[in-house]
Amino acid sequence: MTTNEHANGTVPAPAQRISLPDLAPDFYKAMIGLDRAARKGVDPVLAELVKVHASMINGCAFCIDMHSTDAVKEGEQEHRLLSLPAWRETPWFTARERAALALTESVTLLTQGHVPDAVYNEAAEQFEPEELAQLIALIVTINSWNRIGVTSRLSPAAK
């Protein structure tokens, strides 16, 4: 056992750098309101798929843990969550989910080609304008949460 391992072989999470709820409470409360508004009208399972996928891309362990747990509570299947990084190679995502996942990738990886017309148009074919607006809001919001989580080093709780 190395000196930085727990008795069960796990490595402790890095220490949290900063607490935004404590040090920027108005901003944090606004983020919670933004999150609530962004989720409005979005299917809960689809919302969690989008949140997990963006969080995987961004490497936010806290959000991956939270939203995969929430997805399972909403009825999502674990094998679908585990295959999100390879969703294009699997048969179990619907056309609507595929459009949402592609849009999530494009918005999350904005510097890698922006949001191509083909990706946006596919999402626009699958979602009514109001749904698409909410989906975009959800993607933008989870990316903001990921940046908070990664920068401040939020860590998932030990289970």
pTM of the model: 0.91
Q: Note the pLDDT of residue 39.
A: 96
Q: Note the pLDDT of residue 6.
A: 61
Q: Note the pLDDT of residue 1.
A: 45
| CA triple 79-102-86, angle to 5 deg | 35
Q: Note the pLDDT of residue 125.
A: 98
Q: Which two tokens stand for residue 119?
A: 């990706």
Q: Note the pLDDT of residue 121.
A: 98
Q: Are 119 and 98 within 8 A, CB to CB? A: no
Q: Note the pLDDT of residue 3.
A: 54
Cα 93 → chain centroid: 17
Environment class of residue 44 by beta-carbon count within 10 Å: exposed (0-12), middle (13-18) or buried (19+)? middle
pLDDT along the chain (159 residues), means of 10: 61 85 96 98 97 98 96 96 96 98 98 96 98 98 97 81
End-to-end CA distance of the chain: 20
Q: Return the H-helix or E-strand segment holding 29.
A: helix 25-39
Q: Note the pLDDT of residue 11.
A: 76
Domains of the chain: 29-152 (1.20.1290.10)
